[in-house]
Amino acid sequence: MNNPPDVAQDSKEYEEYAHGVQKHVRGYLIVGATLLAFTMITVALSYVDFGAILSSLFHTNLSATQGRKANIAVALLVAMFKAGLVAAIFMHLAAEKRLIYRILIFTGFFVLGLFWLTLLAWYDYPIFR
Amino acid sequence: MEIPYTISTRPDTGLWNAKIGIWLFLASEVMLFGGLFSAYIFLRIDSAPGMWPHGLLNVPVGTFNTCILIMSSVTVVLAWASLKMRRYRAYWWYMLATILCGIIFLVVKLAYEWPQKYDHFGIYIKPEALGKYEQYLGNAYAAEKELPPRLEITGHLHNRAALSDPNIKEYEVALDPLNADPTNPSMDRPHFFPLPVTDKIATIEKKDVERATMFLPTHNAYFASYFTITGLHGLHVLAGVLVFIYMWLPVSKKLYQRSPEHLANRVEVSGLFWHFVDLIWIFVFPLFYLL
């Protein structure tokens, strides 16, 4: 967020700025409530057997291990949504300066590379699945 | 010498300096936790069937702690907004709420969750002796239901002396509900409310034991990664709380009177760190508690 008009001691200009911050506060509260709601949702979803649901939907028979993978995917999708909300709204990434985006693109590249290495190991080693 | 660009923006970056500083730091933190999460994935996909435990942690307590951390993220951003609106009193209260949330989180973790683990006992049975303890493991039942094999008997260790005394030849364990009644279908999946240890006592001979320890980092790969990641996360929470206490004390009020925008920027930067800690927990919670 931009700095206030600190040099000009124009009270009207400052009031406008403070009003802008006030408008954001409502958004922060809504995001907080959404995050709490999705915490409950992710807990509830973890007790749903997605393996059984997928099995009946597609007329197959998924094992408990395969079913667990479906639950992992659902839980991680919810977690990514929550993390995205925190980053975009609380950390102001929805509207930031270009330099910060550049730093983060760089970071994203390397962290994805790191997880890509983990993925390679999947094909590399006689592991249990 | 005055530190430049604490409030005003640097012409070439378009930002005040601390903001770039904290984002570079957070970028390095992403790699730090990224490495630990990769280790978690490695250990988990590499674990033999039945070696990765499920439902051992207390989900209601974990959910409570998640909510506490989310609420503290809201209060810290409100504290910052209050400073931007030049309402120091409101800032002071929001900051206090944030600090208290951080302390509650740490107390729950260190005084309740971790010590519970130190007090819980797990015994991995040697593969050749699994049949002998079938009444506690129910592997025939598990195979029939296509559940992963059960290699471990858990519960509360009655004769603690057995841990150190080589003359004691067996462990006496008050069983967890799963091992007390392994063929009960309600034990197939973890429960939301943790079930207490039962009265049923099992005697397990040491010669049948592959390894037996309390739920410590040495117990298995799951607890090793659990203690490492939640421990490092806890250190981050502690660091955040200490920084917030400094910004809440009267010494920061002096800065506020001199330059309110400077304090607001400090709060924004430490708030960014705090949101990052919250963001990490958003992944830690399902990975260890739910999945």
Mean pLDDT of B167-193: 89
Burial class (CB in 10 A: 0-12, 13-18, 19+), B207: exposed
Do B84 and B22 fall within a single domain?
yes
Do B139 and B192 fall within a single domain?
yes
> What is the domain count for chain B?
2
Do B73 and B89 fall within a single domain?
yes
* Residues in Cβ contact with A15 at an 8 Å cutoff, skipping those fewer than 6 apart: none
| Domain's final residue, options B195, B214, B233 | B214
The whole-number pLDDT of residue B49 equals 84
For Cα atoms B8, B14, B16, give the angle at the middle one, nearest 5 degrees: 40
Q: Is residue B69 part of a domain?
A: yes
pLDDT at B80 over 80: yes
Identify the sign of the CA torsion A99, A101, A104, A110.
Answer: negative
Identify the sign of the CA torsion B43, B44, B48, B50.
Answer: positive
Give the whole-angstrom CA distance, residue B257 versus residue B4. Answer: 19
The whole-number pLDDT of residue B232 equals 97
* Residues in Cβ contact with B154 at an 8 Å cutoff, skipping those fewer than 6 apart: B56, B120, B121, B122, B123, B173, B175, B176, B178, B179
Do B100 and B187 fall within a single domain?
no
Do B248 and B262 fall within a single domain?
yes
Q: Which of A20-29, A78-87, B55-64, B264-273 has the lowest mean pLDDT?
A: A20-29
Q: Per the CB < 8 Å rule, is B290 touching A75?
A: yes
Which residues does chain A have within 8 Å of residue B67's beta carbon, measured at their own beta carbons?
Answer: 36, 39
Mean pLDDT of B122-147: 89
Q: What is the CATH number of the domain that holds B44?
A: 1.20.120.80
Of B19, B59, B77, the CB nearest to A90: B77
Give the whole-angstrom CA distance, residue A22 versus residue A9. Answer: 20
Q: Is A117 at the interface with chain B, CB within 8 A?
A: yes
pLDDT confidence of A7, banded at 50, 70, 90? very low
The whole-number pLDDT of residue A67 equals 80
| Domain's final residue, options B165, B193, B214 | B214
pLDDT confidence of B107, banded at 50, 70, 90? very high
Residues 18-37 of A with CB under 8 A from B: 18, 21-22, 24-25, 28-29, 31-32, 35-36
Highest mean pLDDT among A18-27, A89-98, A106-115, A119-128: A106-115
A43-55 pLDDT, tens digit per residue, is: 999 888 888 888 8
The whole-number pLDDT of residue B231 equals 96
pTM across the whole model: 0.91
Residue among B117, B134, B115, B113 at smallest CA distance from B125: B134
Do B266 and B185 fall within a single domain?
no
B228-239 pLDDT, tens digit per residue, is: 999 999 999 999
Q: Which residue of B has its CA nearest to A36?
A: B67
Q: Is A60 at the interface with chain B, CB within 8 A?
A: no
| Domain's final residue, options B147, B181, B214 | B214
Do B269 and B228 fall within a single domain?
yes
Residue among B148, B45, B38, B146 at smallest CA distance from A126: B45
- Domain with B198, as residue range(s), is 121-214
Query: Which of B82, B282, B283, B287 best probes binding to A when mutated, by most A CB atoms within 10 angstroms?
Result: B282
Q: Is residue B26 part of a domain?
A: yes
Give the whole-angstrom CA distance, residue B234 versus residue A102. Answer: 29
The whole-number pLDDT of residue B270 equals 95
Q: Is residue B97 part of a domain?
A: yes
| A36 min Cα distance to partner chain B (Å) | 6
Across chain B, what does the average pLDDT equal? 92
Give the whole-angstrom CA distance, residue B143 versus residue A92. Answer: 51
pLDDT at B97 over 90: yes
Q: Is residue B30 part of a domain?
A: yes
Give the whole-angstrom CA distance, residue B59 versus residue B190. Answer: 10
The whole-number pLDDT of residue A126 equals 61
Give the whole-angstrom CA distance, residue B213 versus residue B253. Answer: 51
Q: Is residue B177 part of a domain?
A: yes
pLDDT confidence of B136, banded at 50, 70, 90? very high
Do B173 and B207 fall within a single domain?
yes
Which residues does chain B have within 8 Å of residue A103's beta carbon, measured at their own beta carbons?
Answer: 20, 23-24, 27
Query: What is the C-alpha radius of gyration for chain A, rounded to an integer number of angstroms?
Result: 22
| A109 min Cα distance to partner chain B (Å) | 11
Of A100, A118, A125, the CB nearest to B23: A100
